[in-house]
Amino acid sequence: MTPDEAGPPRNQLDARTRWSIYWLLIICSLAVICARIWQIEGDSHGQRVPFLSANDRSRWCTIRSLGDHDTYCIDLVLNAENGRSWDTIDKVMHWGRDFRPHFYSSKPTWLTTVLTYPYLGLKVVTGWTLKNETFDVVRWMLVICQVVPLLFFFWSIGRIGDLLGHSEWTRMFLMGCATFGTFVTTFAVTLNNHLPAVVATSVGLYAVIMIWQRRSESWGWYFLAGLTSAIAAAAELPALSFLVAVMTLCMLRSVSKTLLAFLPPVLLVAAGSFVTNYTAHQQWQPPYAHREDGPVLNIVSHVTGDRLAEGRRRCAAT
């Protein structure tokens, strides 16, 4: 009898049973996230909004401006009839193409540009707009752009557990943590850059493991590793170190496949990041580089500063 015919070792589940448990955890996690998305309701200047902070409002301003007005400038959104509820502190001001000052989101442009396309598709299919059907659009956008990508995160974590786990307890603990024990699922109810970065990192890590642990000769794993690590770096700047590490590991395995399969998607994503940033801000530097404290109006001594601070405290107390 061959090892394959003998079945899994004692105390080890077969792959079908194990993944049945995985999918039960995944479905329960996604159901909880969707239920929370439909309950999200914030307050902005006395108005009900499906946002939780100025952070996600900043991205929604750009998506609405791009999708409805075909511009990265968010003035039209901030000044709309329901604009005050869209206001955000995560914005910068600089001169636009018309040589006038305009407000722009301080968030990197690549991710919000990508997220605009699902909004455009939703507009075509349903006729909804972020201005008129704000709650409906935001909720379904979160499902499309946050919940669906989580499937790739859970799948890659499950596959990594299958490859590296030495016991069923280890594998189940890993999947349990992935589905219910991290901030990844917590962030899923608000539009953010952390979730896509985590999803891309987990898939990229699985691709690297396939290249090294299984020594796969497929060019597709190199392409997937390059694409996902580049997306992670574009969504979360600290993930640039992950991109460098993955590229180094791939180079050590195969220089030709790294250059011909890994590098092209990296260059494509990098080009998209720089081009969208330049299109929005007419500069190569990131948008938050436009932030500054402004001109110095006066310099006071530490004694005067202490007195001013005491005055503020007295005002606060009264």
At 229-240, the pLDDT tens digits run 999 999 998 999
Whether the CB-CB separation of 139 and 145 falls below 8 Å is answered with: no
Q: What is the pLDDT of residues 243-268, one digit of tens each?
A: 999 999 999 999 999 999 999 999 99
Do 178 and 265 fall within a single domain?
yes
Count of domains for the chain: 2
Q: Which two tokens stand for residue 145?
A: 């752009």
pLDDT at 308: 61
The residue from 133, 165, 180 where one domain ends is: 133
Residues 163 and 24 in one domain: yes
CA angle 282, 284, 290 (to 5 degrees): 75
Whether 115 and 10 map to the same domain: the answer is no
Point out which residues pair with 91 in neighbouring strands. 105
Tell whether 311 is covered by a domain: no
Q: CA 232, 290, 190 angle in degrees (round to 5)?
A: 45
Instruction: State whether 223 and 182 are in the same domain.
Output: yes
Whole-number pLDDT of residue 295:
64
Q: Is residue 316 part of a domain?
A: no
* Domain span at 260: 3-36+142-281
Give the residue from 90, 116, 133 where a domain finishes: 133
Residue 318's pLDDT is 45
Task: Give residue 63's pLDDT.
Answer: 95
Average pLDDT in the 148-159 region?
Answer: 96
- Which residue among 112, 133, 154 closes a domain? 133
Is 211 in the same domain as 85? no
Residue with tokens 């699922």: 185
- pLDDT, mean over the chain: 87
Residue 315 lies in a domain: no
- Evaluate if residue 67 carries a pLDDT over 60: yes
Q: Answer yes or no: do 186 and 239 share one domain.
A: yes
- Per mean pLDDT, which range of 6-15, 115-124, 165-174, 245-254 is the poorest? 6-15
What percentage of the chain exceeds 90 in pLDDT?
62
Contact criterion met (CB below 8 Å) for 180 and 150: no
Q: Amino acid letter at 187? A: F
In a domain, 300, yes or no: no
Let me know if residue 164 belongs to a domain. yes
Task: Render pLDDT for 8-20 as a digit per residue (tens, 0 to 9).
Answer: 555 678 889 999 9
The reply to whether 318 falls in a domain is no
Encoded amino acid at 77, one letter: V
User: Based on the domain organization, do 120 and 148 belong to the same domain?
Assistant: no
pTM for this prediction:
0.84
pLDDT at res. 85: 78
Any idea what DSSP says for residue 82?
Answer: T
Q: Within this chain, do residues 16 and 149 fall inside the same structural domain, yes or no?
A: yes
Predicted confidence band of residue 3 (pLDDT cuts 50, 70, 90): very low
The verdict on residue 150 lying in a domain is yes
Task: Give the mean pLDDT of 177-188.
Answer: 93
Q: Beta strands of 122-208 (E only): which ranges?
A: none
Start-to-end Cα distance in the chain: 86
Judgement on whether residues 110 and 196 belong to the same structural domain of the protein: no
Q: Does residue 176 lie in a domain region?
A: yes
Q: What is the pLDDT of residue 284?
A: 79
Residues 101 and 30 in one domain: no
**What are the structure tokens assigned to 76, written together?**
């039209």
pLDDT of residue 86 exceeding 50, the answer is yes
Q: Are residues 230 and 181 in the same domain?
A: yes
Asked if residue 147 and residue 115 are part of one domain, the reply reads no
